[in-house]
Amino acid sequence: MILDGKSVSAKIIEELKASLDSREIKPCLAVILVGDDPASRVYVRNKKKKAEYIGVRTDIFEYPSDVEESVILNKIEELNNNPEITAILVQMPLPEHISRDKIVCSISPKKDVDCFTPENTGRLSIGMEPYFYPATPQGILMLLDVYNIPVEGKHAVVIGRSNIVGKPMAQMLLNRNATVTVCHSKTENLEEIIKTADIVVSAVGKKIVRCKMVKNKSVIIDVGIYRDSNGNLTGDIDFEEVEPVAGFITPVPGGVGPMTIASLMYNIVKS
């Protein structure tokens, strides 16, 4: 069965919109955008469009690529102290002269809807409730829940160890009582490990999972998305090979991507 992230995401967005329509107090999102990276501008525009659709006021603060780090830190402090601002996003990547760590650490955990701050990631890592969960892993679990796919007691293999997807995904699966194996570029016998998985989450950005590597009727979650040599959007999973073997599988596009947006909007409304 194909896990249709697009339709599930659309339903969540409409539920969030209905929730805000009935409230007098609305959340307010502040987005900081530094530089002229075209992809970043697209991401910010899409976030603003979706947020405003559900009823979230969105303020975008744009700065040139040569802006001093102190200017951004001062703006974040101002936003932290503004009670009208409930959510803060700093669009990545940042120019090299600006420390990502300093910027992330300066955001109030209670407004950190990306779940990047040490407090939120630390809470997650020790099993405490963070103020917000990371958007992509949370979106994946939302999708599994909609399709009534159990996690508890299952062997989940997470391929990739990024701070945005791999590490928090492993922790959130562990917090749901899955047995979790994290694989990465230095992992030996990757194929043998994947073959033992009831659930596979791949987030590496290259074609890595093929039919011979997956267990029959397993759950295959493809986080990777990029363009192949023909310009077509594709992911980490060889979809045509793996689909006949998998029990559940996400497509690219239309799987994890829309769920990430829905999850981020959920966090903004929660804020």
Catalytic residues: 47, 91, 114
Beta strands in 52-172 (DSSP E): 57-63, 87-90, 155-159
Partnered with residue 97 across adjacent β-strands are none
Q: Can you tell me the distance from the alpha carbon of 157 to that of 198, in angstroms, rounded to the nearest whole number?
A: 8
Beta-carbon contacts of 142 under 8 Å, excluding residues fewer than 6 positions away, are 8, 12, 259, 262, 263, 266
Quote the tokens at residue 229: 């040599």
DSSP 111-143: GBTT--SHHHHHHHHTT---SS--HHHHHHHHH
Q: Can you tell me the distance from the alpha carbon of 34 to that of 13, in angstroms, rounded to the nearest whole number?
A: 28
Partnered with residue 58 across adjacent β-strands are 29
Q: What is the DSSP letter of 98?
A: S
